[in-house]
Amino acid sequence: MTNNYFIRRTQYIFSLKAKKMIEIFKSVGVDVTFEQVVGWTRRDEDPEVVLMEDSVLAAFLNGFIIEKRGKKEGPAPVAEEKLNNNIILRKFRIALDMKDTDMLEIFRLSHTQISKHELSSFFRKKDHRNWAYCKDQFLRNFFHGLQAKFKEGISYDDE
């Protein structure tokens, strides 16, 4: 999955307009233009899509955390240069102030069976013996569950 997928899904699920997304970037000291946001949120098949770098998505997710949880004292968080699915999942967990039970509910909404132990393995340090890589399908299902929870009238129970 591309970084564009994540920002596009976030924009859709949380009904973020381009202007709001620009404000989110600005909250972490990143200036972006309307044209950049439009380019990043185009469908992957669109010839005018602009590929989003890891550091730009990381900055947006840091801003999304501030948007949802409020600004903390001290300097703004530094965006990671390289992202993986585990980091993206962790940033959403923080932004939405989710506990394990909340996340398990999100996965349940997308008809994904995952245990509490399996979920916790995604949030461990990479060198921990019980660390596990969050595969694309888990993250995709997480976004399906978010959509079912946050978008009215959309449910995966009908499938």
pLDDT in the model for residue 159: 44
Q: How far apart are CA 71 and CA 75, in angstroms?
A: 10
pLDDT in the model for residue 109: 94
* Res. 158: pLDDT tops 60: no
pLDDT tens profile 36-54: 999 999 998 999 999 999 9
pTM above 0.75, yes or no: yes
Overall average pLDDT of the 3-28 stretch? 95
CA dihedral angle for residue 3, residue 117, residue 101, residue 7, rounded to 10 degrees: 0
**Could you tell me the two tokens for 117?**
């132990």
Q: How far apart are CA 7 and CA 56, in angstroms?
A: 10
Residue type (1 letter), 7: I
Confidence of residue 153 (pLDDT cuts 50, 70, 90): low
pLDDT tens profile 75-134: 777 889 999 999 999 999 999 999 999 999 999 999 999 999 999 999 999 999 999 999
Q: Is 113 left (phi over 0), alpha (psi -120 to 50) or beta?
A: beta
Q: Is 73 left (phi over 0), alpha (psi -120 to 50) or beta?
A: beta
Q: How far apart are CA 70 and CA 95, in angstroms?
A: 9
CA atoms within 13 A on the CB side of 128: 11
**Could you tell me the two tokens for 19?**
């202007």
